[in-house]
Amino acid sequence: MRPFEYARAGDPADAVARFRPGTMYLGGGTNLVDLMRLGVAEPEFLVDVSRLPLDRIEPDGDGLRVGAAVRNSDLGAHPLVRERYPMLARAVLAGASGQIRNMATVGGNLLQRTRCPYFQDVSKPCNKRQPGSGCPAIGGDHSNLAILGHSPACVATHPSDMAVALAALDARVHVTGPGGDRVIPMPGLHRLPGDEPERDTVVEPGELVTAVHLPAPPPGASHYRKVRERASFAFALMSIAAALDVAADGTVRDCRIALGAVAHAPWRCERAERALRGAPAGEESFTRAAEAELEQARPLPRNAHKVPLARNLIVRTLLELAP
C-alpha cells in the first residue's frame, strides 16, 4: 500500500476544506481499504468522514432523511425503513455480511466501485482504472457483466444492492462541495460509461455525500429480490427492486422497476413502467413490459443468459406483487 496522510474531519465543511487533488474521503473503508491494498486506489490523503454527525435517520416531510454516515446495518434495522420502505430494508439486508454492514456507510455504499475482475487486478488493462489502456473484459470473462447501457470502453456493472432500491424509490442524494450544496436525483447519480468509464458517478472531485432523502414510498406492494450464486454473502448475478399499484378494475395504476447488476448504474426500467401503466395486471402485460425494456439489451457473447434472466425476474416479481 502506498503511503498516505490521514486526518479525521470534524464536520462536512471541514472535510471539504481539507480536500486537495489526491484526496479521498474514507467512510467504513470496506471497499476503499481493500482497493488500496490491491493497488487499485492510491490516495495521497485520506479524510475520514465516517464519524461525522451524519448518522441519523429522521422523518422529513412525508419521507425520510438518511445521513450519509448511517451504517448499512442501522439502515436495514430501522423501524421506519422496515415499515415504509421494505424494498430498501430487504436490499440492504441482502448485501454483504453482518460484519461489513456494521462498517459500511450509506455514502460509501453509493460510491463503491465495480467488482469487475479486471478493474480489481492491476496486472490487467482497464479503461476504468487506467483510461485508454483497453477493456479485456469485452473479449474475456464478462459472464456477469453488463447487458444494458455499456460502451466499447467498459462493460462493468455497479455492485450495490441498496442503490437499486434507491433508484426505484426516486431517492435524492444530497452533496456538499467546494461549489456549495446540491441535490442529485437517484437514477442519475450513477453514469453510463460512454467514453469516460473512469467516472462512476456525476459527483465532482471534492464533493461529499451528506444525506439521502427518500420521498413518500410508492403505493402498492413492493419487493427486492436478489439472484446470486450462493444463498448469502455474494454479489448479485442480478437483482430487482419493484413496486406495483393495481387499481380496483385490475389495471396497473403505477409501478416502479429497477434492475441491479445489469449496467454501469442501477437500471430504472422506464420503458417497462410506461408499457405497464394502464395495462391489465397479469402475466401477459408483465411479459410484454419486460420485453419492451429488454429490446435495448446488447448482450456480450458470454452473458446472453442475463437477458432471459432479467425477463423472468421482472415477470415473476410482478406476478408476486399483483393482488
Spatial contact of 263 and 192, defined as CB atoms under 8 Å apart:
yes
Residue 8 is a binding residue for another protein (CB under 8 A): yes
Q: Report how far Cα 320 is from the mean position of its chain's Cα atoms.
A: 23
Stretch that binds another protein, among 79-87, 143-151, 169-177, 196-204 (CB under 8 A): 79-87
Is residue 96 a contact point for another protein (CB under 8 A)?
A: yes
Q: Which of 40, 103, 168, 184 binds another protein (CB under 8 A)?
A: 103
Nearest in space to 35 (alpha carbons), one of 200, 161, 266: 200
Report which of 119, 200, 129 is spatially closest to residue 163, judged by C-alpha positions: 200
Of 50 and 127, CB closest to another protein: 50
Site for another protein in 232-271 (CB under 8 A): 232-233
Q: Near another protein by CB under 8 A, which window of 89-97, 124-132, 172-180, 277-285?
A: 89-97
In this complex, which beta carbon is closest to another protein, that of residue 33 or of residue 202?
A: 33
Residue 46 C-alpha cell reads as: 485520506
Site string for another protein, 46-65 (x = CB under 8 A): x-x-x---------------
Residue 214 interacting with another protein (CB under 8 A): no
Q: Which cell is 77 given?
A: 434495522
From 14, 17, 29, 65, residue interacting with another protein (rule: CB under 8 A): 29
DSSP secondary structure code for residue 191 in this structure: P
CB of 144 to another protein, least distance (A): 17
Output 99 or 296, the one with its CB closest to another protein. Answer: 99
Count of residues for the chain? 323
Footprint on residues 30-49 left by another protein (CB under 8 A): 30, 33-34, 37, 46, 48
Question: Which of 69, 168, 147 lies closest to 111 in space, CA to CA?
Answer: 69
83 touches another protein (CB under 8 A):
yes
Contacts of 178 (CB under 8 A, 6+ apart): 16, 19, 206, 207
Backbone φ and ψ for 149, nearest 5 degrees, come out as 70, 10
**Rounded Cα distance, 255 and 277, in Å:** 7
Q: For another protein, which is the closer residue by CB, 45 or 194?
A: 45
- Tell me which of 64, 94, 138, 209 binds another protein, using CB under 8 A: 94
Helices (H), 48-129: 72-77, 79-84, 86-93, 98-103, 106-111
For the record, the C-alpha cell of 61 comes out as 416531510
Nearest distance from C-beta of residue 11 to another protein, angstroms: 17
Grid cell listed for 40: 487499485
Grid coordinates representing 253 are 395504476
Dihedral angle at the C-alpha atoms of 286, 186, 8, 76, nearest 10 degrees? -30
Using CB under 8 A as the binding criterion, the count of chain residues that bind another protein stands at 36
Give the binding site for another protein (CB under 8 A): 1, 3-6, 8, 26, 28-30, 33-34, 37, 46, 48, 50, 73, 76-77, 82-83, 86, 89-90, 93-94, 96-100, 102-103, 231-233
